[in-house]
Amino acid sequence: MPSQEVKEIFEAMGLVAPTDVEGGLAVEDPSCGEIIARVAQDDREAAMAKVAAAHAAFLRLREVPGPVRGELVRRIGERLRQHKEPLARLVTAEMGKGIAEALGEVQEMIDICDFATGLSRSLGGRTMLSERPGHRMFEQWHPVGSVLCITAFNFPVAVWAWNAALAFVCGDPVVWKPSLKTPLTAMATHALLQPVLAEAGHGDAMQLVIGPDVEVAQALVDDPRFPLVSATGSCAMGRKVGPRVAARLGRTLLELGGNNAIIVDATADLDLAARAIAFGAAGTAGQRCTTTRRLLVAESVADALVRKVVGAYQQLAERIGDPRDPANLVGPLIDADARDQYVAAIERIEADGGEILVGGRVLDRSGYYVVPTVVAVPEGKEFPLMDQETFAPILYVRRFGTDDLDGAIAVQNQVEQGLSSAIFTDSVRAAERFWSPAGSDCGIANVNLGTSGAEIGGAFGGEKATGGGRESGSDAWKAYMRRQTCTVNGSNALPLAQGIRWE
Ligand code: UN1
């Protein structure tokens, strides 16, 4: 039997909780370590049947007018509005993020639906001037095919929504392969929203596949019926998925790890910076790809800032606990493995001469709670651990020479990932330098706000080992369509381009 809480949440959404399957995939509540459900998994054959159904749906969906597809996405957004609260509670129960953040995650789903609905009437190509008399050139964008959407545990529903809302208005079905750590939120989302498409005769355009990586995920990734594979997760995952899709010359949209830094210069508002650092580094228990993992602070303000940050962390340490309680600001890590990685990192920090200013320990209670940690790295020495992404709330602090902003930017850019970055400064020159071509090499660069918590209206993603993909806002929709360049000759002659004469 799924837990009472899970049953109640599904009921609150007008759904029936999935029945437990013997030997099924165990779903753990990270706040207490108990198994709350055992769900059925798809085998390869079942997964392939869903791929075939999605492909058949594509052949119909591609001919549905864009604004009509937009209307479907609008209704999906409406349904999410109606069920925002219980869906958020399920995110909290299964993933462990605080309820305020879980509500924000569902809001992110709603926002992208609104955004995509608007796009459905404005997606379009440009007209170019032809060099040939009486000719017209333009480009148009067509649906590309089914999208395979692989998502991670940390944003168990929002990242699917970023992809799905855009894909649907673009005319592409979506086959969703969620993290095996968070299948319940995916099942609830699917059960809630798939009927919206089904009522309009496009139910097969939304598919959910829950299955083991080797048997099922690899077969999905290799299938040419997915011209686009959109994958969110670790760099290690991306290194497996990217080459497999490339080998069949498919397209990927990769949104992988981050090792994001905040730079604080001598002119910065330190109170503002300290608050942003605490949320960026300890929010979601350090399990966002946009989490702040490194603080680079100007020597002249370092002591004052570190005092404020440590003070904020001491308050945070009082607010670790059950993510269902809105008074708690830090929930558990996702599982025992994540906790063990945190412990291993702390051990290495100490061995390598890092000074733990606050945190550095596991809470002695059931569930995977760790104390958000601030580490001063030894001055004048390399500290390689700082350049590695540990998916936990560990913030490394390094000082830089007060006038050496370029040096700080170089340290920021020396990691393999390039997702998010921020500077706190009151200097226009510093801000402009920070996001100049010689500045941050990340996909996101913020001034006077933290590295996490992006809005859906911007394109989201990053460079280097982050994978280069862009999801969500701006013109990220282009990834979900194919471009066609069209030229029409409205004249009676047949002039050749480049002035070639061939008569
Ligand atoms: C992620 O961690 O995979 O910018 C996504 C943010 C959120 C999305 C994070 N809007 O922090």
pLDDT at 274: 98
Counting ligand 1 atoms within 8 A of each CB, the residue from 108, 155, 162, 163 with the most, and so the one to mutate, is 155
- Domain termination site, one of 403, 430, 447: 447
Catalytic residues, by residue number, are: 255, 289
Query: In angstroms, what is the span from residue 235 Cα to ligand 1's centroid?
Result: 15
Indicate the pLDDT class of residue 213, thresholds 50, 70 and 90: confident
Sorting pLDDT into bands at 50, 70 and 90, what band is 380? confident
CA–CA–CA angle 349, 295, 328 (5° rounding):
85
Give me the mean pLDDT over the 259-277 stretch: 98
Task: Look at residue 199 and tell me if it is in a domain.
Answer: yes
Residue located nearest, by CA, to atom 6 of ligand 1: 453
CA of 37 to the centre of ligand 1 (A): 27
Residues 453, 291: Cα–Cα separation, whole Å: 9
How high does pLDDT run on average in the chain?
97
Residue 276 tokens read as 């942003």
Pocket residue to mutate for ligand 1, from 460, 466, 471, most atoms within 8 A of Cβ: 460
85 located within any domain: yes
The residue range of the domain holding 188 is 4-256
Q: What is the b/e burial string over 7-30, where b = at least 16 CB atoms within 10 angstroms of the residue's CB?
A: bebbeebebebbebeeebbebbbb
Question: In a mutational test of the pocket of ligand 1, which residue from 230, 234, 289, 449 has the highest number of ligand atoms less than 8 Å from its CB?
Answer: 289
Predicted local distance difference test score (pLDDT) of residue 30 = 98
Q: Which of 370, 374, 402, 387 is nearest to 277 (CA)?
A: 374
pLDDT band at 1 (very low <50, low <70, confident <90, very high): confident
pLDDT for 150-168, tens place per residue?
A: 999 999 999 999 999 999 9
What is the number of the ligand 1 atom nearest to the C-alpha of 454?
4
Regarding whether 278 and 202 lie in a shared domain, the answer is no
Q: Give the residue-averaged pLDDT of 408-427.
A: 98
Segment 462-482, tens digit of pLDDT: 999 999 999 999 999 999 999
- pLDDT score of 214: 84
Distance in angstroms (rounded) separating the CA atoms of residues 222 and 235: 19
The residue among 256, 274, 290 that closes a domain is: 256
Q: Which atom of ligand 1 is nearest to the CA of 420?
A: 4
Let me know if residue 463 belongs to a domain: no
Cα dist. 218→154, 186, 262, 396 in Å?
21, 20, 37, 36
Question: CB-based contacts of 245: which residues, under 8 Å, 6+ apart?
Answer: 221, 229, 251, 252
pLDDT at 417: 98
Query: Is residue 497 included in any domain, yes or no?
Result: no
Residues 323 and 416 in one domain: yes
Residue 416 Cα to ligand 1 midpoint, Å, equals: 19
Q: Is 279 exposed, middle or buried (0-12, 13-18, 19+ CB in 10 A)?
A: buried
Looking at the structure, tell me whether residues 168 and 301 fall in a common domain. Answer: no
- The H-or-E segment that residue 315 falls in is helix 299-317
- What pLDDT sits at residue 64? 98
Mean pLDDT of 392-416: 98
Same domain, 124 and 136: yes
Number of domains observed in the structure of the chain: 2
Residues 223, 202, single domain; the answer is: yes
SS3 174: strand
Same domain, 162 and 291: no
User: What is residue 153's three-state secondary structure?
Assistant: coil
pLDDT score, position 350: 97
* CA 133–ligand 1 middle distance (angstroms): 50
In this structure, the answer to whether residues 209 and 319 fall within a common structural domain is: no
Query: E strands of 270-354, at which residues?
Result: 292-298
Residue given tokens 């059950």 in the structure block: 322
> What is the DSSP code string of 340-402?
HHHHHHHHHHHHTT-EEEE---B-SSSS--B--EEEEPPTTS--GGGGS--SSSEEEEEEE-T
Q: How far is the CA of 101 from the centre of ligand 1 (A)?
A: 11
- Ligand 1: centre distance to CA 403 (Å): 32
215/268: higher pLDDT: 268
What is the CA(159)–ligand 1 centre distance, in A? 8
Helix axis angle, 84-95 relative to 99-119, nearest 10°? 130
Residue 145 has pLDDT above 80, yes or no: yes
Whether 209 maps to a domain, the answer reads: yes
The residue length of the chain stands at: 503
Report how far ligand 1's centroid is from the alpha carbon of 327 (Å): 22
Atom of ligand 1 nearest to the CA of 452: 11
Q: Specify if 494 maps to a domain.
A: no
Residue 290 lies in a domain: yes
Residue of the nearest CA to atom 7 in ligand 1?
453
pLDDT (0 to 100) of residue 291: 98
Instruction: Assign residue 422 the CATH number of its domain.
Output: 3.40.309.10
| pLDDT tens column, 434-443 | 999 999 999 9
- Do 193 and 325 lie in a common domain? no
Co-location of 219 and 118 in the same domain: yes
In a shared domain, residues 325 and 236: no
pLDDT at 94: 98
327 in a structural domain? yes
Ligand 1 atom closest to the CA of 108, numbered from 1: 10
> What residues does ligand 1 touch, defined as CB less than 6 Å away?
154-155, 159, 232, 288-290, 452-454
- Dump pLDDT digits (tens) for 286-338: 999 999 999 999 999 999 999 999 999 999 999 999 999 999 999 999 999 99
Which atom of ligand 1 sits closest to the CA of residue 444?
4
Candidates 284, 288, 470: which one to mutate for ligand 1, based on the most atoms within 8 Å of Cβ?
288
Indicate whether 78 and 192 sit together in one domain.
yes
Q: Does residue 349 have a pLDDT over 90?
A: yes
Rounded-to-integer distance, Cα 68 and Cα 64, Å: 7
Asked if residue 48 and residue 95 are part of one domain, the reply reads: yes
Average pLDDT of span 96-103: 98
The residue out of 213, 236, 256 marking a domain boundary is 256
502: number of Cβ within 10 Å:
5
For residue 228, give the CATH number of its domain. 3.40.605.10
Least confident range from 16-20, 210-214, 253-257: namely 210-214
